[in-house]
Amino acid sequence: MNSLSKFKTNGILKLNLFGTRLDLIHSNNKCDFPPNLQISSTHEKEYSVSLVLQILNGFQNAQNLSKLNIYICNADFKSQILLKELISKVSKFNNLFELRLPLENYDGFQTDIIKLLQSLKKLVYVYFQSKTITDAISLNELIQYAVHHKSELRLLYFNLCQPIKIADTQNINRVYPLEVILEVKQNGFTKEFYFFDTRYGVTSCLHS
């Protein structure tokens, strides 16, 4: 572990978690975060989030981290406690430019994500993976917040299990246009694109 504490990379670190369960060894010696960290897991959902949290807690110097990609296969969670803990942890990575996270349709999920967006002021590209979000009101609340309060954000991407209608938006005042994409895999494959722009308002199109 002493040698690993000196491990550094100026590029991408990819961690693929699959197969038998892992026993991670805790140590006070920590590695520096790489600029780009990608973690994917095929393990059971809560166990996957627990592993991801342990891995994130094994790094230091979070200011190095600009891209974080966390992918969990078939991300449907029986308990939201660990997922909420993961969202809280990620909200402390202040220099994130790009983020990919699993998301769950629990009561108040949009409030937790809005707090995350409030904390991460440098975010430009955000991707959310969810198999359970069906609450159009909560999702629209989240999107409306991004439209009106995250002027630096350029892309908000949702991977969903069913279509959700995006509410009309008035009085758009953004420095940069925001593209919202809803990717739905249900009886085929569709993508809905919404563009929120100060000059043209809201425009949309559908690809299948």
d(C-alpha 184, C-alpha 195), whole Å:
18
Instruction: Print the domain residue range for 187.
Output: 133-208
Q: What letter does residue 3 receive in the DSSP assignment?
A: T
Mean pLDDT score of the chain, rounded to an integer? Answer: 87
Number of domains in the chain: 2
Beta strand 201-207 with 190-197: parallel, antiparallel or unpaired? antiparallel
Which residue in this structure is represented by tokens 């572990």?
Answer: 1
Q: Please give the model's pTM, rounded to 2 decimal places.
A: 0.88
Q: Name which of 4-8, 38-42, 183-187, 194-198 the model is least confident about.
A: 4-8
Q: Are residues 97 and 176 in the same domain?
A: no
Residue 117 lies in a domain: no
pLDDT of residue 62: 94
- On whether residue 199 sits in a domain, the answer given is yes
Structural domain includes residue 115? no
Q: Are residues 13 and 98 in the same domain?
A: yes
- The winner for highest mean pLDDT among 24-33, 37-46, 121-130, 177-186 is 121-130
Q: Could you tell me the CA-to-CA distances from 182 to 20, 102, 131, 151, 207 in Å, in that order?
A: 34, 15, 12, 20, 10
105 and 144 share one domain: no
pLDDT in tens, 164-187: 888 888 778 888 899 999 998 777
Q: What does the alpha-carbon distance between residue 114 and residue 111 come to, in Å, rounded to a whole number?
A: 5
Segment 112-124 shows an average pLDDT of 97
Between residues 140 and 104, which one has the greater pLDDT?
140
Shared domain check, 140 and 66: no
β-sheet bridge partners, residue 67: 36, 98
Q: What are the backbone angles phi and psi of residue 198, rounded to the nearest 5°?
A: -60, -40
59: its two tokens: 């790094």
Of 173, 207, 175, nearest in space to 190 by CA: 207
Query: Three-state SS for 119?
Result: helix
Distance between CA atoms of residues 171 and 187, nearest Å: 36
Domain boundary among 79, 110, 141: 110
Residue 2 pLDDT more than 50? no
208 pLDDT band (50/70/90 cuts)?
low
- The per-residue pLDDT for range 71-103, each reduced to its tens digit, is 987 655 666 888 899 999 999 999 999 999 998
45 token code pair:
């959902």
d(C-alpha 86, C-alpha 33), whole Å: 16
- How far is Cα of residue 27 from the mean position of the Cα atoms in its chain? 27
